[in-house]
Structure 1
Amino acid sequence: MNPFSLARTAGIAVLIHLISSIPGSAVPSEPPASPQVAAAMQPYLDSHKLAGIIGIVADREGKVRYRNIAGYADAEAKKPISEDNVFWVASMSKMFVGASIMLLADEGKISLDDPVAKFIPELGKWMVVTEKDPDHILLKPLARPVTIRHILSHTSGLTGLSELQQLAGADTTSLKARAIPSVTGPLQAQPGEKYAYGNQGMNIAARIVEILSGMPYEQFLQQRFFDPLEMKETTFWPSEAQIARLANAYGPNKDGSACVRGSVGFLTPPFSDRAHRFPEAGGGLFSTTHDILRYGMMLANNGELAGKRYLSPAAMDELRKEQTGTTKLNYSLGYHLRNGMFGHDGAYGTDLSVNPKTGMIAIFMVQCTSGDQWKARDQFLQAATEAFSKPE
């Protein structure tokens, strides 16, 4: 090190010492790990049900109260998991569909009770299965129109994926191409009468966003949410550099002695291919801990962040309330409702949960293929809530 570098380093050290000696001016420290969260997650790590976890507990101002990071993003290489990692957030993508529709509702361009056929006339030709056995299927007309509310709350009667997606792949055709053929696969129930979770309704809603905004769905998300919220790494097409930081997905081997790597089989590699891959609005996004926290802060602040309003209080009310009609399940418009919190999870266990009353933002970032992610997520949320409720 040259003399100038030595002098500069020494000067910085003296400055830090002087600042830390001033009352109330301590040098900021990293948020602590929550003992409750650590205790809840350790059994999953020990049994290799989870290879690595990031658990963030923050308030609505974005202050991280607790940060738990443990395990590996690459178990074979013993590469620790970190907030630099990129995650496939899967069905967390649904939150942005609901938010996009509500943004357009705020602008007076759409109503939740509008029939989808108002925007895509071909969808008025749906029929409904009323009898089915190996020898015959009996179809009847719609008893009522399928509405925007139905497709966002999984009560439309649609199957999980369109026939086109089932044959060609989830992300190999455009949203426009996927929407129209959905009429060839009949509804499995009359609109509003049954809840059936899936992605097809979300993709149709995203296509309607394209029609009303006059731009591709991914461009709408970029302009209206990702860019202004500084969500710089949230995308349907992670770059090669982002893929190099992708946290690997794992589950335990048969005797639980080690992790076995899985893959993002739902999507079509290479994930950076914009020429042959298209947005899967119900489950195609990749993101980071930082970006999910930014979105969570907007939700926790009732649709506003840093002086910019994204969604009206009325729109936020719609996203926070149960929307499944007579089925009365804990689901809204692309948002799960759970123990006073709202948000969404993804297939491999990633989760954002926001408590609008306390302002708690809980983020769980994992990539788990075994099915243990849901119990782990629930235990994380319980521990996070207990930790957040304690005085600072």
Structure 2
Amino acid sequence: MRRPLSFVALALALMLLTASTAIADEPPASPEVAAALQPYFDQHKIAGVISIVADRTGKVHYRNLIGHADVEAGKPIREDNVFWIASMTKMFAGASIMMLVGEGRVRLDDPVTKFIPELNKWMVVEERDDSHLLLKPPVRPVTVRHLLSHTSGLTGSSELQQTTGADSASLKARAISSVTGPLQWHPGDKYKYGNQGMNIAARIVEIVSGQPYEEFLQKRFFDPLGMTETTFWPTEAQIARLAGAYGPNKDGTGYTRGDVGFLTKPWSDRTRRYPEAGGGLFSTTHDIFRYGLMLANDGELEGKRYLSSKAIKELQTVQTGATGVNYSLGYHLRNGMFGHDGAYGTDLSVHPETGMVAIFMVQCTSGDQWAARDLFLKTASQIFPK
């Protein structure tokens, strides 16, 4: 049957209108962000990056996808790429503890030995030189707050982790083995960044909740938030979408590809690999955005409350005592924002006052990721609608 010309014209008009609406709904790229990051691409310091500047309502004001996820194959970076988010994993340890604090099951100033009595054997290095080591009991107990704020006196990783690998022993084994290496100072006296405290905090989550740590995260955060690709054990399909980690080659004329040597391969092995609460998660831009929106909305998203207002306030507050370091409970604090970054440059930063949610997804091995991230955040703050 022949259709009237007017019908065909109407159908074409509707198609064009739909297409133009879809284009209009697509968040624009920020020329300011692109210009700020261009030198890092010119010098082969960064191969690919996704940056998001959004507000707490979920509206994305600017989205930049620049460069490649796989330089060798010529694959451009895409929003479905998976990233090793490394130390961004610490945010979930802090949030998990604060969720249990809100339920009255944990207090930040509880001694760690309340939950893991075996750790009453901790000792502190009082004197040390080439000929002797003097150990004394700590003048105060290590608390949950100390664990999450890197002020416990613990070294960055346990002696067990240093021997077997970051993720090759259970959280229980890692926590108990922490007594084999003495505390480097009395709890609360100094700040030293590391993963060991986060893993012990995750073990406390397991003890209090009666669930494996990964199950607690899945049921309390990942599933309800729709974080469908955040995991300690990426599948082979997810690994195929993993953004490559790059830095410049020796003469700076191209890229050299790196790897995630911190974790044990194969990453999909749930039998011999365990959660590394200080830096073991893989995730996507979408999933980090979902988590960032929850933080930006005072612990609530789409009618479901995850963290109380009091808990969110604690996460936005310096917790390192007299050390003078701007760090909270598994959260970095900088320029009025809170969130965390990862070893290869991934970053989530939320501004509680303006409502800005800024996401920077990159896998950079050159050591320039921090300067690039800082420049992005500075630019994002400037272009964010007032």
TM range (shorter): over 0.9
**Contact 1:154 / 1:196 at 8 angstroms: preserved in 2?**
yes
* 2:60 matches 1:64: yes
In the alignment, which residue of structure 1 is the partner of 2:226? Answer: 230
* SS of the residue 2:224 aligns to: coil
Equivalent in 303, 310, 319 of residue 323 of structure 1? 319
In the alignment, which residue of structure 2 is the partner of 1:132? Answer: 128
In the alignment, which residue of structure 1 is the partner of 2:302? Answer: 306
CA distance in 2, matches of 1:47, 1:294: 33
- Aligned-residue offset at 1:18: 5.7
In the alignment, which residue of structure 2 is the partner of 1:208? Answer: 204
- Aligned-residue offset at 1:132: 1.2
CA distance in 2, matches of 1:90, 1:304: 25
Q: Trace 1:160-179 onto structure 2 (pairs within 5 A).
A: 160-179=156-175
In the alignment, which residue of structure 1 is the partner of 2:263? Answer: 267
CA distance in 2, matches of 1:53, 1:38: 10
CA-to-partner distance for each residue in 1:352-376, whole Å, 9 max, x for gaps? 0000000000000000111100000
In the alignment, which residue of structure 2 is the partner of 1:15? Answer: 14
* 2:94 matches 1:94: no
Equivalent in 176, 179, 185 of residue 183 of structure 1? 179
* Letter of the 2:170 counterpart: S
Q: Trace 1:265-304 onto structure 2 (pairs within 5 A).
A: 265-304=261-300
CA distance in 1, matches of 2:200, 2:355: 32
CA-to-partner distance for each residue in 1:15-73, whole Å, 9 max, x for gaps? 3446699xxx8864311111111111000011000011111001001111000111111
* Letter of the 2:45 counterpart: K
CA distance in 1, matches of 2:203, 2:34: 42
* 2:380 matches 1:381: no
* Letter of the 2:27 counterpart: P
Structure-2 change in CA distance of 1:10 and 1:237 (3 Å):
farther
Q: Trace 1:361-372 onto structure 2 (pairs within 5 A).
A: 361-372=357-368
Structure-2 change in CA distance of 1:207 and 1:253 (3 Å):
same
CA distance in 2, matches of 1:129, 1:16: 73
* 2:40 matches 1:44: yes
CA distance in 2, matches of 1:20, 1:279: 44
Equivalent in 144, 147, 151 of residue 151 of structure 1? 147
In the alignment, which residue of structure 2 is the partner of 1:256? Answer: 252
CA distance in 1, matches of 2:366, 2:139: 40
CA-to-partner distance for each residue in 1:297-333, whole Å, 9 max, x for gaps? 0000000000000000000010000000010211000
In the alignment, which residue of structure 2 is the partner of 1:54? Answer: 50
CA distance in 2, matches of 1:161, 1:20: 53
Structure-2 change in CA distance of 1:45 and 1:125 (3 Å):
same
Structure-2 change in CA distance of 1:75 and 1:309 (3 Å):
same
* Letter of the 2:322 counterpart: T
CA-to-partner distance for each residue in 1:197-241, whole Å, 9 max, x for gaps? 000000000000000000100000000000000000000000000
Number of residue pairs matched? 382
* SS of the residue 1:227 aligns to: helix
* Letter of the 1:40 counterpart: A
* Letter of the 1:222 counterpart: Q
* SS of the residue 2:233 aligns to: coil
Structure-2 change in CA distance of 1:20 and 1:163 (3 Å):
closer
CA distance in 1, matches of 2:329, 2:183: 19
- Superposition CA RMSD, Å: 1.9
CA distance in 2, matches of 1:9, 1:115: 74
In the alignment, which residue of structure 2 is the partner of 1:122? Answer: 118
CA-to-partner distance for each residue in 1:108-165, whole Å, 9 max, x for gaps? 0000000000000011210000111222111011100000000000000000000000
Structure-2 change in CA distance of 1:126 and 1:77 (3 Å):
same
* 2:347 matches 1:351: yes
- Aligned-residue offset at 1:389: 3.6
**Contact 1:58 / 1:66 at 8 angstroms: preserved in 2?**
yes
* Letter of the 1:208 counterpart: I
TM-score computed with the length of structure 2 as normaliser: 0.96
CA distance in 2, matches of 1:34, 1:274: 41
* SS of the residue 1:329 aligns to: coil
In the alignment, which residue of structure 2 is the partner of 1:239? Answer: 235
CA distance in 2, matches of 1:161, 1:19: 54
Structure-2 change in CA distance of 1:121 and 1:80 (3 Å):
same
* Letter of the 1:128 counterpart: V
TM-score computed with the length of structure 1 as normaliser: 0.94
CA distance in 2, matches of 1:19, 1:274: 45
- Aligned-residue offset at 1:247: 0.4
**Contact 1:16 / 1:27 at 8 angstroms: preserved in 2?**
no
CA distance in 1, matches of 2:16, 2:373: 41
Q: In percent, how many aligned pairs have the same letter?
A: 73
- Aligned-residue offset at 1:77: 1.2
CA distance in 1, matches of 2:130, 2:175: 27
* 2:331 matches 1:335: yes
